Amino acid sequence: MNYLDDQFRLKSGLAEMLKGGVIMDVTNAEQALIAEKAGACAVMALERVPSDIRRDGGVARMAPISKIREIMATVSIPVMAKARIGHFMEAQVLEALKVDYIDESEVLTPADEEHHIDKRAFRTPFVCGARNLGEALRRIAEGAAMIRTKGEAGSGNIVEAVRHIRTIVKEMKQLTVLGKEELVAESKKHQAPLELVQWVAEHGKLPVPNFSAGGIATPADAALVMQLGAEAVFVGSGIFKSNDPENRARAIVKAATYFNDPAKLLEASEELGIGMFGIDIAKLPESELLQTRGW
């Protein structure tokens, strides 16, 4: 299989470099600088953070080019940007702009309700969200070089990210104990290519780095998903919607490194104020969920 060809190795190679780190959502150069100074390993440029998208509604699109440029000119760490699901033209513009990674994201309003972007057609690597193993493998089959849990973006509630990382890890473990002849039925069940199902059964992990996103608001949230198997975290609204972005950003960076060390987590959490206001997902109407976008 050509998942390991040179282009693909370069794409997932950059994701390898981000492991153990925190990728922070930023909407302008000033926030990007705060993120970099706090130790972010990359920033994600977007027009509005997910909690504002949730509050204001309307169509959420790729960030304005001038903002992305301003962010790219300000920081030396990798700059990612979001494109709408299926909006390959936004992705082509982002590639021409030379962003380092493209997030085909359910946080933005989908442009295509049936098809995701053909990510193999790009030299710029893509990250995509997933709620379960089948979704992750379908995105990888399309060319995604990094997977992140969808969680529920902008909710400040970790419960969905936990559900998704647990589901993905559990479904991978289950494959490793099955016989070869059983994998064909698994491929059908997960609606994912057999060769990828076989790869996961053999290795017990995804063929690309597996990160977590969607609801991380505290250092303990970050450490929690990492102990559950995530290799790095994305933090969206959690930092710049809190009352102390600098401290919180630094604390989450420390938590992503020392996720197995409760004493260090305590130190990281010590001086934090109040986190962003969170939402009880159970009280959200189905139509307001972001995680159900894409398939």
Q: From residue 85 to residue 114, what is the string marking binding to another protein with x (rule CB under 8 A)?
A: ----------x--xxxx-------------
- Rounded distance between C-alpha atoms, residue 98 and residue 206, angstroms: 27
257, 272, 278, 288: which one binds another protein (CB under 8 A): 257
Structure tokens at 269: 């959490």
Cβ atoms of residues 164 and 130 within 8 Å = yes
Describe the strand order of the beta sheet including 210-211 as a list of residue ranges.
210-211, 146-149, 126-130, 101-105, 79-84, 42-45, 22-26, 233-235
47, 52, 142, 261: which one binds another protein (CB under 8 A): 261
Residues 6 or more apart whose CB falls under 8 angstroms from that of 19 comprise 209, 231, 232
Complex with another protein: residue 80 or 153, whichever CB lies closer: 80
9, 170, 173, 188: which one binds another protein (CB under 8 A): 9
- Rounded distance between C-alpha atoms, residue 125 and residue 201, angstroms: 25
Q: How far is the CB of 262 from another protein (least distance, A)?
A: 14
When asked if residue 18 is in the footprint of another protein (CB under 8 A), the reply is yes
Cβ atoms of residues 34 and 249 within 8 Å = yes
Complex with another protein: residue 1 or 184, whichever CB lies closer: 1
- Rounded distance between C-alpha atoms, residue 43 and residue 78, angstroms: 7
Q: Of 16-24, 149-157, 217-225, 281-289, which part binds another protein (CB under 8 A)?
A: 16-24
Write the DSSP symbol of residue 189: H
Q: Give catalytic status of residue 180 as yes or no.
A: no
Q: Of 81-89, 164-172, 176-184, 255-263, which part binds another protein (CB under 8 A)?
A: 255-263
Q: How far is the CB of 45 from another protein (least distance, A)?
A: 13
When asked if residue 247 is in the footprint of another protein (CB under 8 A), the reply is no
Cβ atoms of residues 50 and 240 within 8 Å = no
By rule CB under 8 A, what count of residues binds another protein?
A: 35
Q: Of 18-26, 45-53, 103-111, 284-292, which part binds another protein (CB under 8 A)?
A: 18-26
Helix (H), strand (E) at residue 71: helix 65-74
Cα dihedral sign, 76-78-84-89:
positive
Nearest of 248, 148, 136 to residue 199 by alpha carbon? 136
27, 31, 32, 36: which one binds another protein (CB under 8 A): 36
Which of 11, 82, 119, 254 is flagged as catalytic? 82
253, 255, 265, 290: which one binds another protein (CB under 8 A): 253
24, 26, 32, 40: which one binds another protein (CB under 8 A): 40
Cα dihedral sign, 233-277-220-27:
positive
- Rounded distance between C-alpha atoms, residue 207 and residue 140, angstroms: 8
Q: Of 4-12, 84-92, 108-116, 175-183, which part binds another protein (CB under 8 A)?
A: 4-12
Q: How far is the CB of 172 from another protein (least distance, A)?
A: 16
When asked if residue 70 is in the footprint of another protein (CB under 8 A), the reply is no
Residues lying near another protein in the complex (CB under 8 A) are found at 6, 9-10, 13-14, 16-21, 36, 38-42, 76-78, 95, 98-101, 123-125, 231, 253-254, 256-258, 261
**Catalytic residue annotation:** 82
